Amino acid sequence: MKTDPKGVLTGEHYLDGDHACAEGALAAGCRFFAGYPITPSTEVAERFCSRIPLVGGIFIQMEDELGSMAAVVGASWSGKKSMTVTSGPGFSLMMENIGLAAMMETPCVVVNVQRGGPSTGLPTMVGQADMMQARWGSHGDYEIIALSPASPQESFDYTIFAFNFAEKYRVPVMVMMDECVGHMTEKVVIPPAGKIDVAYRTMTTLSPDKYLPYVPEKNLVPDMMPVGEGYNIHSTGLTHDERGYPVMSPDAQDKIVNRLVDKINKNADDIIMIEEEDTEDADIIVMAYGITSRVTMPAIFEARKKGLKVGFIKLITVWPFPEKRIKQLAKTAKAFVMPEINLGQVVLELERIVAGKTKVYHVPHAGGWVHDPADIYKAIEEAANGNKK
């Protein structure tokens, strides 16, 4: 489906990642934004609220992030593509209603411009330590989709992907930006509206008396119907049946929770997006995401100059994790090297998947700044020499 041209600022721009994210949302057809100011994400809200009156939509600055996320879930049920943007402390507050969005199967996008944590941490400085929180920060079992842009252009592009995934899978989708990308200014090319593909939730074709809101289709995602159409929809955060009615039983729990997880995991091949470079015959594969995927490049160039066969995987989607592809590569690669601006989060998944087949060299960083490429180079060298970690 082509997007509504009203929100598309076609042309070449010089934008930071935050502003590019707002433009991506508008280009994707987002017409509802609820948010609360927080560094380093506020510029997304500022851009959105300055643009939305003439695009045709609405913006509300809520009283806190609890309310922002709840309003986003409500707005999505009214049929509008909806989003919020925040950073660490706000992301923690949003977890409550991210869980509600997961349970009610509500399409929505949450952008987290990551800063250093825990708690107030480093408000103006980079971090990538909310990656596990993005996946499972709300209580209970569920799966989400998370993307990680490494440039303002990708911030624009991936925000559109995020809305498309949200609509297709009726799930909260996280754009896990980081402070560096949010505040980095680069060229951003916004294509003509006719070149921007957008998805929209599948509406039921059944009449109100036949439609049940939680009967899954073949892809495990139920068709939707917004409020106001006479369908008398009921949706609850409680464990529920196909009618959306609460059912307090282990059987109902088993059914709903497994489907919430399966609708992402069983469609993983359709969702997962990665970039690979020279991985097929690589001895060492470096894996990274977000700003770290760029910081890694000098280390890889240096290693290749020294004659090492180094491949590279950049995660566009971090969750779901590309388990199948990693398993294949683990058969041929001698080792993986993974830098990330945390003390070991996404790397745990890599280690789990390749355990017993190949080694993993983690390059941690507590946050506040990006890695020194020399540290990543050192890890590649160690991996090449087969040094024990």
Partner 1 sequence: MATKNNNVPEHPMERLLRMDRIPHIWCPTCGIGTAVSCFISAIDKFKHPHEKIAVVSGIGCTGRVAGYIKLDSFHTTHGRAIPFATGLKLANPDLKVVVFSGDGDLISIGGNHFIHAARRNTDITVVCVNNFIYAMTGGQCAPTTPLTANSSTTPYGNHERPFNLPLLASSCGAVYVARWTSLHIRRLTNSMHEALNKPGFSFVEVVAPCSTLYARRNRLGTGLDLLKFYHDSSEICHGADPTELDIAFQDKIKVGKFIDRERPTFIDAWNDNMKKKFGDKFDPYGEKKAKKAA
The binding site for partner 1 (CB under 8 A) comprises 31-32, 34, 53-54, 56-58, 60, 62-64, 66-68, 70-80, 82, 96-97, 99-100, 104, 226-238, 243, 245-246
β 108-116/122-126 pair status = antiparallel
- For the bound state, the minimum distance from the C-beta of residue 58 to partner 1, rounded and expressed in Å, comes to 5
Q: CA–CA separation, 47 vs 299, rounded Å? A: 35
Distance CA 185, CA 85 (A): 19
Cβ closer to partner 1: 139 or 305? 139
The residue (of 136 and 245) whose beta carbon lies closer to partner 1 is 245
Instruction: Find residue 103's DSSP bridge partners.
Output: none
In degrees, to the nearest 5, what angle opens at C-alpha 161 toward C-alphas 345 and 271? Answer: 60
Distance (Å, rounded) from C-alpha 39 to C-alpha 389? 36
The pair of three-digit structure tokens given for residue 246, joined into one six-digit string: 């609460």
> Judged by CB, which is closer to partner 1: 56, or 192?
56
In order, the DSSP letters of 43-82 are HHHHHHHHHHHHHS-EEEE-SSHHHHHHHHHHHHHTT-EE
Min CB(16)–partner 1 separation in Å? 25
Write phi, then psi, for 263 (nearest 5 degrees). Answer: -65, -25
CB of 140 to partner 1, least distance (A): 12
Q: Which two tokens mark 389?
A: 């970690």
Residue with smaller CB distance to partner 1, 26 or 326: 26
Q: Smallest distance, Å, CB 79 to partner 1?
A: 6
Would you say 96 or 277 has its CB closer to partner 1? Answer: 96
Shortest distance (Å) from residue 34 CB to partner 1 = 6
- Distance of closest approach, residue 28 Cβ to partner 1, in angstroms: 16
- Nearer Cβ to partner 1 (60/268): 60
Torsion of CA 263, 264, 270, 274, to 10 degrees: 180
Question: What own/partner pairs with CB < 8 Å and gap ≥ 24 does 4-9 have?
Answer: 4/29, 4/193, 5/193, 5/194, 6/55, 6/56, 7/31, 7/51, 7/55, 7/57, 8/190, 8/191, 8/192, 8/193, 8/196, 9/51, 9/190
Closer of 84 and 358 to partner 1 (Cβ): 84
Min separation Cβ 226 and partner 1, Å: 7
Report in angstroms how near the CB of residue 275 gets to partner 1 at its nearest. Answer: 35
Nearest to 266 by CA among 325, 323, 327, 219: 219
Specify the residue, 33 or 377, whose C-beta has the smaller distance to partner 1.
33
